[in-house]
Amino acid sequence: MRVRIKSDSAKMERKLDKLVKKQVVFAAVVATTKTTVEVRNNYVVPKYKKTFNARNKAFGERLIHNISAADAKHAKKTGIAVAAIRRRDGPLVPGTSRRKEKAGRGPSTTSFMKRHVTGGTKTPKGQKLAIPLSNSRVSRKKAGAKAGAVTKTFEPKTIMESGKGFILGKKGSGKSYIARKMARGGVQVLYSLRDSANIKPVYDPIPAAKKGVAARFPVQFRRALFKALKTARLR
């Protein structure tokens, strides 16, 4: 009996090269998306919570730091996998999936958060900005989608329409306040009225994000590539 073995190493090499290239792209898509989620949860959100008095967990994690997954078609076409942490209502990042992470109810816009990063001037929708005084005891909602928002009872409009609210201020001083009469006598000053307010840049998530990517992407990519090659079929 004779056994003949024929080897086409060049053809096999081409198949292996094609397989690796295909699976590397797939692994990059998976690793980039998983890394972005890890970076959001374990690096960026903790930075956010240290900067702000976060009452609404969903607001910080899913409205301001919404995940856009890497788009496989874009990665296959360009060889580049892109995932992003973005505001829910912000512009779509090229190369990411159009599917949006479920975020629940929230404000109509989160664009005001940009001022906390870059700084800027906040202007009123009406005539004046009503800014709660630090010692005014204006109560806020503690739970739900609008946690952190001023309760209905303490909203400036509610106070002024209650018959107990009034504008307090000296003529010519340029300073005015919203106050209300208390049931047992006395006056409670609640808000300072201003034409505008300067917002200082206090939040910079970029260093935390870079640290997270450097630490977690190599780990996630190795895992994804190993799994992709293990389950791939050589054709």
pLDDT tens, position by position, for the chain (235 residues)?
Answer: 354 545 456 665 565 566 667 788 899 999 999 999 999 999 999 999 999 887 777 888 888 999 999 999 999 899 899 999 999 888 889 999 876 556 556 677 888 899 999 999 998 888 899 999 988 888 887 766 566 778 898 999 999 999 999 998 866 667 899 999 988 888 999 999 999 999 999 999 999 999 999 999 999 999 999 888 887 665 5
- How is residue 134 annotated by DSSP? T
SS3 124: coil
Q: Would you state the pLDDT for residue 194?
A: 92
| Structure confidence at residue 147 (pLDDT) | 64
Q: What is the DSSP letter of 43?
A: I
Q: How far apart are CA 181 and CA 161, in angstroms?
A: 13
Using the 8-state DSSP alphabet, how is residue 61 labeled?
A: I
Question: What is the model's pLDDT at position 19?
Answer: 61
Nearest in space to 72 (alpha carbons), one of 31, 41, 15, 18: 31
- Indicate the domain borders of the chain: 10-114+200-231, 124-195
Q: Cα–Cα distance between 145 and 88 in angstroms, integer?
A: 14
